[in-house]
Structure 1
Amino acid sequence: MRKIFLLLTAAAFLTSCGGGQKANKNAEQPTGVVKIDGSSTVYPISEAVAEEFREHQPDVNVTVGESGTGGGFKKFSRNEIDISDASRPITAEEIDACTQAGVSFIELPIAFDGLAVVVSKQNTFIDHLTVAELKKLWEPAAQGTIKTWDQIRPSFPKEPVKLYGAGTASGTYDYFTEAICGKKGASRGDYTASEDDNVLVKGVSQDKGGLAYFGLAYYEQNQDKLKLIPIDGGSGPVAPSQETVGNGTYQPLSRPIFIYINGKSIERKEVAEFAKFYTEKAGTLAKEIGYVPLNDDEYKLIQERLAKKVTGTVFVKGKSTVGTKMSDLLKIEEGK
């Protein structure tokens, strides 16, 4: 009996030690919630990163929303989220809102995107469009006046024009209007607008006279029902692709996309671990989804920026991302 008692006591002691080690190990793992919201363009990358992160850190609950870049920055400036997805740089007004609320931020470019201009598979008459034609189609003066396609090009049929595009809270809206119409926010208002790109995909795919613009990844995921339109920026028609966005030949609709991390949130272990994981996985996942990864040197610079917790933006004081090429991004981030 004494031997059995000693064996049971020893087993209990070992079990207790093992349990203690397990508890300590769990104590080392991050727990908590990481809240992300913002751009519908960046959403697929953030959601993909979140899914992989959950496999590595199941005790961390990562939530990803898509209220648009502007909507995300509003939540960000109110300290409601930890990370804001953005398809354009933060604006001076948004920085002021953050400053007033005591919110600092780390700005991290994560990939490049080409805005895809698309029509329905039913459309057989558009094979390309020039930037000038896109401007004529979308500029404010077109509202109520440009109603049929033959007004854009005489060879086009007299079919009704139906447009689909990003909502005004979207960074895609800001970028497209600046790149095509020459001024941020300069757009006709009589179009179907949504911050949810899936709504735009569904609408234009079923409309013979429709045309839409949104992130390249959404075209990649819906090629079976959409027709991609090459854009002539002055050097001949070019369609967006991994190659043309990466080498800068798809202009002026190529742009960097970002995540912004709350300066206080990054002090929490779960946010710090997720942000580090994000910069390590962004390139691979961006390419899988349909966006264009940065190069290795740029990701190293971004990882250093995160590790040093460098706050602020390099795009204020009139800097624009329109026409920014992949090769320019490293110089921009170094402030050169």
Structure 2
Amino acid sequence: MKSNKASLFNLKAALLVSGALFFSACGGNNKEGNSSTTAGDNLTGSIQIDGSSTVYPVTEAVAEEFRAEAPDVKVTVGVSGTGGGFKKFVRGEIDINNSSRSIKEEEAATAKENNISYLELPITYDGLTVVVNPENTWATSMTVAELKKIWEPAAQGKIMRWNQIRPEWPNEEIHLFGAGVESGTYDYFTEAIVGKSHSSRGDYTASEDDNVLVQGVSTDKNALGFFGYAYFLENQGKLKAVAIDDQNDANGKGAILPSVETVKNGTYAPLSRPLFIYINSKAAARPEVVQFVNFYLDNASDLSSEVGYIPLPAEEIQKQKQKFQEFASGLKK
């Protein structure tokens, strides 16, 4: 998805990360006056970034601001999906990978074989949103079990109509739209809903470009899809979010729509996740990359809010900055 300062989504989103982090007052360092940006005019070089379409709006917003601070550094941001980005990353073809999931064991093994070390940094939070067309008046809420019934591999060629989910729903075909199999969004959704990562029916319209999914659902009364909350918020005039009932959650309160409040208080589950950037250690030895990552962390809170995500708490931002500083410093020894 294309993003620029003038058209950043003036929106907010939210996420609860299961037990690993807990929300307090959200915030971050003010991007004005950050020491990480003062030397930008002296920097040259290039930075190659690829990966998740979900993380793209945040990284592109940061890159756009950084280009103004360091005009002689060429920053390119591609969108080949989390998996596609990792394929390049573990071969040493890019400096940073945007990722909507943690690196897989096989990807880490390939990186090791290629003598590539790296650092994982969480940079913001997201909640996946299940969406339907606004003309869909029946599917206002769904349980995790109902979503699994639709999306599990065994459903292919069998669960094809809305009234197979609930008898009172229309006897009309369901047209499914979702993330491509190279996407971290696909991995997260299938694990949270189906119960196994990278496992789903195959007869759906898949794309690494969330805008394609938005277009598909927004023009089809019988469509059902999923993607990151920021894309829903940007297009909420032509989409409708489905409230999710996590019946496996003992603290559940019925069907819950995604929002800042419901995610913060833990009631929107289980479609919640952190978003990451991965930095190649060789790249982190270059001054332009060090400056860019520091700039990213300094500005992630403000810019992630502007493009529709919820920022890390201020103390977590500081923790990630310290982690990166130790990582980069260790490369010089």
TM-score by length of 1: 0.83
Aligned pair partner of 1:180 in 173, 193, 197: 193
The whole-number CA distance in structure 2 between the counterparts of 1:218 and 1:78 is 30
Deviations 1:71-99 (A, max 9, x none): 00000011111000000000110001111
Residue identity matched to 1:238: I
The whole-number CA distance in structure 2 between the counterparts of 1:194 and 1:28 is 39
Aligned pair 1:286/2:304, yes or no? yes
Aligned pair partner of 1:300 in 318, 322, 326: 318
Question: In the superposition, relative to structure 1, how do residues 45 and 267 fare at CA in structure 2: closer, same or farther (>3 Å)?
Answer: same
CA shift, 1:28, in A, is 7.0
Aligned pair partner of 2:280 in 262, 274, 283: 262
The whole-number CA distance in structure 1 between the counterparts of 2:241 and 2:152 is 21
CA shift, 1:244, in A, is 2.2
Structure 2: gaps of 5 or more residues: 1-37
Deviations 1:23-52 (A, max 9, x none): xx9997111111100000000000000011
Contact 1:115 1:216 in 2 (8 A): yes
Aligned pair 1:171/2:184, yes or no? yes
Question: In the superposition, relative to structure 1, how do residues 239 and 78 fare at CA in structure 2: closer, same or farther (>3 Å)?
Answer: same
Structure 1: gaps of 5 or more residues: 1-24, 312-336
**Relative to structure 2, which stretch is displaced further, 51-60 or 241-250?**
241-250
Structure-to-structure mapping, 1:142-291, within 5 angstroms = 142-234=155-247, 235=252, 236-291=254-309
What is the RMSD computed on CA atoms of the aligned residues? 1.6
Aligned pair partner of 1:56 in 69, 83, 92: 69
Aligned pair 1:47/2:47, yes or no? no
Structure-to-structure mapping, 1:308-327, within 5 angstroms = 308-309=326-327
CA shift, 1:248, in A, is 2.6
Q: What is the aligned partner in structure 2 of residue 334 from structure 1?
A: none
The whole-number CA distance in structure 1 between the counterparts of 2:267 and 2:125 is 13
The whole-number CA distance in structure 2 between the counterparts of 1:126 and 1:206 is 16
Question: In the superposition, relative to structure 1, how do residues 147 and 244 fare at CA in structure 2: closer, same or farther (>3 Å)?
Answer: same
Contact 1:248 1:254 in 2 (8 A): no
Deviations 1:156-179 (A, max 9, x none): 111110000011100000000000
Aligned residue-pair number: 287
Residue identity matched to 1:260: Y
Q: What is the aligned partner in structure 1 of residue 12 from structure 2?
A: none
CA shift, 1:293, in A, is 1.0
Deviations 1:171-197 (A, max 9, x none): 000000000000011200000001110
Q: What is the aligned partner in structure 1 of residue 19 from structure 2?
A: none
Q: SS of 1:238's equivalent?
A: coil
Residue identity matched to 2:189: F
The whole-number CA distance in structure 2 between the counterparts of 1:74 and 1:247 is 36
Question: In the superposition, relative to structure 1, how do residues 181 and 27 fare at CA in structure 2: closer, same or farther (>3 Å)?
Answer: closer
Percent identity for Structure 1 against Structure 2: 57
Q: What is the aligned partner in structure 2 of residue 95 from structure 1?
A: 108
Question: In the superposition, relative to structure 1, how do residues 28 and 222 fare at CA in structure 2: closer, same or farther (>3 Å)?
Answer: closer
Aligned pair 1:120/2:133, yes or no? yes
Question: In the superposition, relative to structure 1, how do residues 104 and 202 fare at CA in structure 2: closer, same or farther (>3 Å)?
Answer: same
The structure carrying a bigger helix percent of its residues is 1
The whole-number CA distance in structure 2 between the counterparts of 1:125 and 1:213 is 17
